[in-house]
Amino acid sequence: MQDAAMATATIRDVARHAAVSVASASRALNGHASVAPGTRDRVIAAATALDYVPHLGARSLSTRRSNSIGVVLPDLFGEFFSEVIRGLDFAAHRRGLQLLLSNMHGATDETATAIRAMRGRVDGLIIMSPEADGAFLDRHLPLGLPTVVLNGRGGTTGQPGGHAGIGIDGRAGAAAAARHLVAQGCTRLAHVRGPHGNADADDRADAFRATVAALLPTPVRVFDGDFGEQSGIDAAEAIVAARGGGEVIDGIFCANDIMAIGCMSTLVRAGVSVPHDIAIVGFDDVPVAHYVTPGLTSLGVDMAALGERTLDLLVAAITQATPIAATPELLIPSLVVRASSARRPEDMTTHPGHREKGRLK
Amino acid sequence: MQDAAMATATIRDVARHAAVSVASASRALNGHASVAPGTRDRVIAAATALDYVPHLGARSLSTRRSNSIGVVLPDLFGEFFSEVIRGLDFAAHRRGLQLLLSNMHGATDETATAIRAMRGRVDGLIIMSPEADGAFLDRHLPLGLPTVVLNGRGGTTGQPGGHAGIGIDGRAGAAAAARHLVAQGCTRLAHVRGPHGNADADDRADAFRATVAALLPTPVRVFDGDFGEQSGIDAAEAIVAARGGGEVIDGIFCANDIMAIGCMSTLVRAGVSVPHDIAIVGFDDVPVAHYVTPGLTSLGVDMAALGERTLDLLVAAITQATPIAATPELLIPSLVVRASSARRPEDMTTHPGHREKGRLK
DNA sequence: CTGTTAGCGCTTTCAG
DNA sequence: CTGAAAGCGCTAACAG
């Protein structure tokens, strides 16, 4: 506004303007202890006058600290991932860190590119890739870049070599879903699973099946899905058909909310009463779960907490403060009971909508 | 995996390993024309052997190009912004650009910090801030950083000095909403607006009011809101009360989908039939609009297109290819008619759910 | 307390 | 075609 410093000023300009060396300018600007008050003031004044803004790229080249962390996420950029990003962003902001985002758009070799593109721009990496296994990560992670894997294959088969891990305990969640459905009086359960080979999908399917096996005589009927809405619709149609054929399923656990919503709307349209005829439980507890009618019972973790915890781990890895745990840390999702499964209103979680609002406060 | 290059290799290591100078190594690695085939091969081989990954920070310091662009967005990190990010990310990826995210968490001075934190790390800036006016931006934008303002105050009061602008035509959208509601036979309309001073909110309110004034004898009843779900709930309660008092409102246009959803669910719970007694239209066409029951009629633009267009403008500004337009480019939102306002099923937009799925393909 | 001297890792004239 | 040298903008010893 004042004087139009067309070309952006560098620290040399500031130093010259204040008649000191760049070293002193740097010290003054960064609030180092040993700078004479007078010098400091002149430097600050010069900086203001020149509208000086430090060049962070240069700074990080020299300090070897970028104060930003890279986030690599899968192509399926759905509701769930948006929420995770929000949680991470919130936590990052509290620590004065920036987020460098990178979608691995489909192709696997692009993932490698995406990861490499982070080198020299971030202090650490957060990778969310339920498909990527330890070997893949080992092959593509730039050595020496601290990394935490969010909910990857590490969740079950052990930690990808040397990388910290954190995730949502899908097995615990699925088990809770099973117990809840049984408690609601369901006796014939179905599961709409995620893609085979996807760690989250496999975990949830296994645990659900196992828990039900311990509680009910009839085994779980499993439908294949891909975490997309259409999968849920397809499964619902098959379930309606099965009902006609005498196999009366009365409870469904879908591996994520989107499938559950597709499933639920199709059932309702087909004249099935939810939760009376069939109770439905989803997973992730994305915001939509609260908006659909009936409200969708789901399992989810506090995203803000997930974000904080993930960054804690990453920062620890960066500062080498703590040796990385051999096994990933798992957050237990909590069950939010809404109308889709509450056969008795008393069972509903109180204030089911409040979580969304307070989440990032 | 092969040899454990514990410390990350630099281009010097590669050069030494290939027995050439760093200059040649650099040329070979970047595919410059004048490098002897043999030299090139040896360099490439060395790079592979050492598992060399270029340090992008250093590269951009030297080339003055970072290949990444900064995105600054408001604290209200809702559904709409998530969608915008997705559109931008998609477009950025197509151009080989990375996104550096930065929420301006509340406080205004933090925004300034957020913006300054971009200096030297990005080639350009995309700012989404319906609250920030031109003067504010002029004061805080690091001079010389190409910027495009997404849907800011520029939408109505002219371009913030020297910055390109793009946005969604809220006035056109609001007018379309008005015409649609009238066409559905509504005669007493209400509007739940966003915060005063918010450019988007003001635009939508003005245009809706004006359009209705030209079509209907009764002026629009306006309710204050803040783009949050609770505002919609509050407005709905007031509307139900007004109905009791004889003021029979039969159509509502909410300034965003979240308020519309809060509004709609409250009305339904109060026994009002939607769309029969009251038709409702939202704005943004976020994914949830498709999932709620009844489906919410809304106005939205193709996010992928918005992302592409925004980046086009930014890239143009960066390369100085085109002089920046004096007036912001406005995308006209299209009306997606769903059950919340379709008093006759024939009026519904066909395949109302397909947009969400194909959006980023 | 302050200035000088080296770099961070990479690209790029400028001479060979 | 290739190497030496000079930076990009900033910080960090190391002497004064």
- Per-residue pLDDT tens over the stretch B281-291: 999 999 889 88
CA distances to A10, A94, B121 from B2, in Å: 43, 39, 33
pLDDT digits (tens, 9 = 90+) for B244-264: 888 899 999 999 999 999 999
To the nearest whole angstrom, how far is the Cα of A28 from the nearest Cα of chain B? 18
Longest dimension (CA), chain A: 90
Cα A57 from Cα A60, distance rounded (Å) = 5
Residue B328: its pLDDT value, please? 83
Give residues with Cβ within 8 angstroms of B145, minimum separation 6: B118, B119, B122, B124, B125
Does the predicted model carry a pTM greater than 0.75?
Answer: yes
- Can you tell me the mean pLDDT for B151-162? 51
| B7-26 core/surface letters (b: 16 or more CB in 10 A; e: else) | ebbbbebbbbbbebeeebbb
CA B193 from chain centre, in angstroms, equals 19
3-state helix, strand, coil in chain B (%, to 5): 45, 15, 40
Residue A357: its pLDDT value, please? 39
As a whole number, the mean pLDDT across chain B is 85
Share of chain B above pLDDT 90, in %: 55
pLDDT digits (tens, 9 = 90+) for A151-185: 755 443 344 456 788 999 999 999 999 999 999 99
Phi and psi, residue B285, nearest 5°: 55, 55
Confidence of residue B212 (pLDDT cuts 50, 70, 90): very high
Written as six digits, the tokens of B189 are 């309309």
Asked if A287 and B291 come within 8 Å (Cβ–Cβ), the reply is no
Residue A58: its pLDDT value, please? 94
Chain A residues touching residue B358 (CB < 8 angstroms): none
Q: CA-based Rg of chain A, rounded to a whole angstrom?
A: 26
Written as six digits, the tokens of B340 are 């919340």
Asked if B55 and A229 come within 8 Å (Cβ–Cβ), the reply is no
Residue B134: its pLDDT value, please? 61
Asked if A8 and B79 come within 8 Å (Cβ–Cβ), the reply is no
The residues close to strand C, meaning Cβ under 7 A, are: A 19-24, 27, 33-36, 38-40, 58, 61-62, 64, 120; B 10-12, 22-23, 26-27, 29-30, 52, 54-55, 58-59, 61-63
Nearest-by-Cβ selection for B61 from A53, A57, A68: A57
pLDDT digits (tens, 9 = 90+) for B28-46: 999 987 889 999 999 999 9
Cα B153 from Cα B150, distance rounded (Å) = 9
Cα B145 from Cα B128, distance rounded (Å) = 16
Torsion of the alpha carbons at B143, B147, B153 and B156, rounded to the nearest 10? 110
Give the three-class secondary structure for B359: coil
Cα A231 from Cα A263, distance rounded (Å) = 8
Confidence of residue B106 (pLDDT cuts 50, 70, 90): low
pLDDT digits (tens, 9 = 90+) for A50-90: 989 999 999 999 999 999 999 988 765 667 888 888 889 88
Give residues with Cβ within 8 angstroms of A39, minimum separation 6: A18, A20, A24, A28
Residue B119: its pLDDT value, please? 86
Beta bridge mates, B68: B98
| Residue of B36 and B212 predicted with greater confidence | B212
Give residues with Cβ within 8 angstroms of A314, minimum separation 6: A69, A124, A125, A126, A146, A147, A148, A164
To the nearest whole angstrom, how far is the Cα of A186 from the nearest Cα of chain B? 26
Give residues with Cβ within 8 angstroms of A117, minimum separation 6: A102, B56, B98
Task: Determine the distance between A10 (CA) and C1 (C1') in angstroms.
Answer: 23
Long-range Cβ contact pairs of B145-153 (< 8 A, separation 24 or more): B145/B118, B145/B119, B146/B314, B146/B317, B146/B318, B147/B314, B147/B317, B148/B124, B148/B310, B148/B313, B148/B314, B148/B317, B149/B328, B150/B84, B150/B126, B150/B310, B151/B199, B151/B200, B152/B127, B152/B128, B152/B199, B153/B199
Q: Minimum mean pLDDT among A347-351, B53-57, B198-202: which range?
A: A347-351
Residue B227 has pLDDT above 70, yes or no: yes
Q: By the 8 A CB rule, do A50 and A72 touch?
A: no
Confidence of residue B198 (pLDDT cuts 50, 70, 90): confident
pLDDT digits (tens, 9 = 90+) for A226-257: 999 999 999 999 999 998 888 899 999 999 99
Phi and psi, residue B100, nearest 5°: -105, 115
Written as six digits, the tokens of B357 are 């799925």
A233's enclosing H/E stretch is helix A229-244
Confidence of residue B226 (pLDDT cuts 50, 70, 90): very high
Burial of A204 (0-12, 13-18, 19+ CB in 10 A): buried
Asked if A120 and B360 come within 8 Å (Cβ–Cβ), the reply is no
Test mutation, A50, A51, A52, A56, chain B, max B CBs within 10 A:
A56
Nearest-by-Cβ selection for B117 from A56, A139, A353: A56
Written as six digits, the tokens of A242 are 């099965």
3-state helix, strand, coil in chain A (%, to 5): 45, 15, 40
Residue identified by tokens 């979580």 is A355
| Residue of A360 and A44 predicted with greater confidence | A44
Residue B60: its pLDDT value, please? 94
Q: Minimum mean pLDDT among A123-127, A270-274, B107-111, B304-308: which range?
A: B107-111
As a whole number, the mean pLDDT across chain A is 85
Confidence of residue B217 (pLDDT cuts 50, 70, 90): very high
Confidence of residue B158 (pLDDT cuts 50, 70, 90): very low
| Residue of A193 and B324 predicted with greater confidence | A193
Asked if B6 and A117 come within 8 Å (Cβ–Cβ), the reply is no
pLDDT digits (tens, 9 = 90+) for A172-223: 999 999 999 999 999 999 999 999 988 889 999 999 999 999 999 999 999 9
Residue B2: its pLDDT value, please? 35
Residue B160 has pLDDT above 50, yes or no: no
Q: By the 8 A CB rule, do B305 and B334 touch?
A: no
CA A352 from chain centre, in angstroms, equals 21
Residue identified by tokens 């997930």 is A306
Written as six digits, the tokens of A107 are 């192709």
Residue A7: its pLDDT value, please? 58
- Can you tell me the mean pLDDT for A33-46? 89
Q: By the 8 A CB rule, do A299 and A277 touch?
A: no
Cα A36 from Cα A20, distance rounded (Å) = 12
To the nearest whole angstrom, how far is the Cα of B171 from the nearest Cα of chain A? 28
Q: Minimum mean pLDDT among A180-194, A251-265, B70-84, B347-361: which range?
A: B347-361
